[in-house]
Amino acid sequence: MLIARDLVIEAGIRVLLEDASFSVQAGDKIGLVGRNGAGKTTLMKTLHGDLEPASGVILRSGRIGYFSQEAALPDLEHPDATALERILMAREIGAMQRRIEHARARLEHLDGEERDRGIVRFSRLLDEFEAKGGLVAEAEAKRIAASIGIGASELHQPVRTMSGGQRRRVELARILFAETDILLLDEPTNHLDLDAKAWLIDWMTAYKGGILVISHDLPLLDEAITSVLALENGKIESYRGTYSHYLVERDRRREQQERTRRHQDEVISRLEENIRRFKGRTEKMAKVARAMETRVERLKRELVEVEKSGSRVRLTFPQPEPSGRVPLSATGLAKAFGDNLVFVDIEFAVERGERMLLLGLNGAGKTTLMRILAGVETADLGEVQIGHNASLGYYAQEHEQITPGKTVIDHMRSVGRLPDQTLRSVLGLFLLADKVDQDAGTLSGGEKTKLALAMLFVARPNVLLLDEPTNNLDPQAREALLDALTLYEGTVVLVSHDTDFVAQLGPDRAVLMPDGEMRYFDEDLLDLVALA
């Protein structure tokens, strides 16, 4: 059980949450919703105990699991821990497996009585492993991993060698495998394909403990949750029902607030008009006016606060200088990580103004190819050619361009030689005006996405390389990005698992990974987008 009482959370001088009280109990499936930057992730970290509240009380009982939206390399129990070991560590079974393997390896170098003692120790460890349900637990861990898109080969890959998306799936599998009473899940569907999302919804529905989940994946919120906590303007408000029910009820409550406020304002206006009429007349009328003034003061203290609808992201990419006819091409690209061959012999050319989609299942090499095109990663074979007058702007899905310890405004200065006043105005378009001096590493996932897009805005590239740009964005910001890309006259190379976003953007062609087959885009490929 998790109980928050009179909770106040601050970020610097800004109050993110004030006087909030709520609970998460067994069987609760609660969606935590609000705009990017409202403080949802900070609240999650505070509930888990990673941050301290400014005031208030948090009561915790049972085992609480927290899945972060960040893809940073976790603190590993062993530097070469594999994905499977990392998952099993949630029940301390991974450590037992490593001790068993270590004991087995030692037997190869022992003789005589030492070997006999080693065999006894090895047998004892096996018995302990079996007694704690190790064999069954390992099968369960593999089943969970497979269900969320972790391949059999990935299970034996060291976590430190994995991409951000792979690490997030491993951490999600670890949290789901752990025996928890309360789960705090921050954007759990990022990097999951359609089948994995459907499986996760079923898993959450059957989970016996309590869940508090942040997600911009609307189907998840509608199918898996039974109530909503809405965080807006520093306040928490509770709603029963799914996300769709919340939207209807929120609008109904806002309309009721507006009606009540209009009535209160009308009453106060009438009373103040009478006060002006009665003052300065007879003593009796002046006494009535003083009584009215007292009533007006009381009514003003009791005024209903109408919930603000919030500002909107206003995004239009500046039209760039035109590039040559073929701004970007690749010839004979190949990439491998150790024994894992990601792709080979990838060839394509992107024409000026084209929208090209990199398409393929998880692990097909889309992000690796994008990093090679951006110059962040080097191909083992082949060459990337940058065309005449082409300038590249790269959005990395793991926010690699965001440097912790560096302020938001310094990030903007690093990509655009513009006056600070102009940079601040651009940040205002992305609703980051109040974050200019904040450490960018402390921004929420959605705010980091907005900062990365703002950096592209001032850099004015004529070729945009966008790797999952809608991850962590709230629905309104996502629509603003779609509108901006629709009007953008430059070239776009896109990786996205967001089917609706891709369908509305309307790519011209697609490169099917890992084979590199080039196809004109049509609606039949949307099924593959959903599986990406």
pLDDT of residue 478: 84
pLDDT of residue 310: 53
Query: Distance between CA atoms of 326 and 335, rounded to whole angstroms?
Result: 23
Percent of the chain surpassing pLDDT 90: 34
Query: Distance between CA atoms of 296 and 272, rounded to whole angstroms?
Result: 8
Q: Which of 6-10, 126-130, 196-200, 326-330 comes out lowest in average pLDDT?
A: 126-130
Residue 104, C-beta contacts closer than 8 angstroms, at least 6 positions apart? 122
Mean pLDDT of the chain: 85
Helix (H) or strand (E) holding 20: strand 14-24
Instruction: Map out the domains of the chain as residue ranges.
Output: 254-301, 328-531
pLDDT of residue 204: 93
Q: Count other C-beta atoms under 10 Å from residue 94's C-beta.
A: 24
Q: List alpha helices for 325-474, DSSP H.
A: 366-374, 408-413, 420-429, 445-459
Q: Write phi, then psi, for 340 (nearest 5 degrees).
A: -90, 105
pLDDT of residue 2: 93
Q: Count other C-beta atoms under 10 Å from residue 104's C-beta.
A: 14
* Region for 389 from its dihedrals, namely left if φ exceeds 0, alpha if ψ lies in -120 to 50, beta otherwise: left
pLDDT of residue 305: 67
Percent of the chain surpassing pLDDT 70: 93
Mean pLDDT for the stretch of residues 224-229: 91
Q: How far apart are the first and last CA of the chain?
A: 36
Name the most confidently modeled range: 112-121, 122-131, 342-351: 342-351
Query: Distance between CA atoms of 24 and 184, rounded to whole angstroms?
Result: 10
Name the most confidently modeled range: 377-386, 391-400, 520-529: 377-386
Q: How confident is the model at residue 66 (pLDDT cuts 50, 70, 90)?
A: very high
Q: How far is CA 527 from the centre of its chain?
A: 23
Q: Which residue in 235, 224, 321 sits closest to 43, CA to CA?
A: 235
Judged against a pLDDT cut of 80, whether residue 281 lies above it is answered with no
pLDDT of residue 490: 92
Higher pLDDT pick, 66 / 417: 66
**Location of structure tokens 């992107």:** 350
Are β-strands 355-359 and 491-495 bridged in parallel, bridged antiparallel, or unpaired?
A: parallel
pLDDT of residue 308: 58
Strands (E), 35-115: 55-60, 64-67
pLDDT of residue 416: 75
Judged against a pLDDT cut of 70, whether residue 307 lies above it is answered with no
Residue 481, C-beta contacts closer than 8 angstroms, at least 6 positions apart? 313, 315, 453, 469, 470, 473
Higher pLDDT pick, 37 / 328: 328
Residue 97 near residue 85, CB atoms below 8 Å: yes
Residue 185, C-beta contacts closer than 8 angstroms, at least 6 positions apart? 67, 175, 211, 212, 213, 214, 215
> What are the beta bridge partners of residue 356?
493, 509
Judged against a pLDDT cut of 90, whether residue 208 lies above it is answered with yes
Q: Write phi, then psi, for 109 (nearest 5 degrees).
A: -115, 10
pLDDT of residue 122: 76
Q: Which of 60-64, 180-184, 416-420 comes out lowest in average pLDDT?
A: 416-420
Residue 368 near residue 161, CB atoms below 8 Å: no
pLDDT of residue 121: 80
pLDDT tens digit sequence for 329-385? 999 999 988 777 889 999 999 999 999 999 987 778 898 999 999 999 999 999 999
Query: Distance between CA atoms of 432 and 423, rounded to whole angstroms?
Result: 11
Mean pLDDT for the stretch of residues 214-227: 85
Query: Distance between CA atoms of 33 and 217, rounded to whole angstroms?
Result: 11
Fill in the DSSP letter of residue 279: T
Half-sphere exposure of 317 (CA within 13 A, CB side): 28
pLDDT of residue 292: 79
Judged against a pLDDT cut of 70, whether residue 258 lies above it is answered with yes
Query: Distance between CA atoms of 215 and 188, rounded to whole angstroms?
Result: 7
Q: How confident is the model at residue 71 (pLDDT cuts 50, 70, 90)?
A: low
Q: How confident is the model at residue 458 (pLDDT cuts 50, 70, 90)?
A: confident
Judged against a pLDDT cut of 90, whether residue 386 lies above it is answered with yes
pLDDT of residue 512: 92
b/e string for 336-357 if b means 16 or more Cβ within 10 A?
eeeeeebbbebebbbbbbbbbb
What 3-state class would DSSP assign to 288? Answer: helix
pLDDT of residue 212: 96
Residue 229 near residue 21, CB atoms below 8 Å: no
The listed CATH number (3.40.390.10, 3.10.105.10, 3.40.50.300, 3.30.565.10) that belongs to domain 328-531:
3.40.50.300
Judged against a pLDDT cut of 60, whether residue 143 lies above it is answered with yes
Report CA dihedral (427, 430, 431, 435) to the nearest 10 degrees.
Answer: -40
Q: How confident is the model at residue 24 (pLDDT cuts 50, 70, 90)?
A: very high
Half-sphere exposure of 372 (CA within 13 A, CB side): 26
Instruction: Return the structure tokens found at 250.
Output: 């929120």
pLDDT of residue 346: 94
Fill in the DSSP letter of residue 432: -
Q: Count other C-beta atoms under 10 Å from residue 173's C-beta.
A: 26
Higher pLDDT pick, 347 / 131: 347
Query: Distance between CA atoms of 86 and 325, rounded to whole angstroms?
Result: 48
pLDDT of residue 487: 87
Q: How confident is the model at residue 90 (pLDDT cuts 50, 70, 90)?
A: confident
Mean pLDDT for the stretch of residues 482-504: 90
Residue 397 near residue 376, CB atoms below 8 Å: no
What 3-state class would DSSP assign to 35? Answer: coil
Sign of the Cα pseudo-torsion (473, 476, 482, 484, in order): negative
pLDDT of residue 175: 94
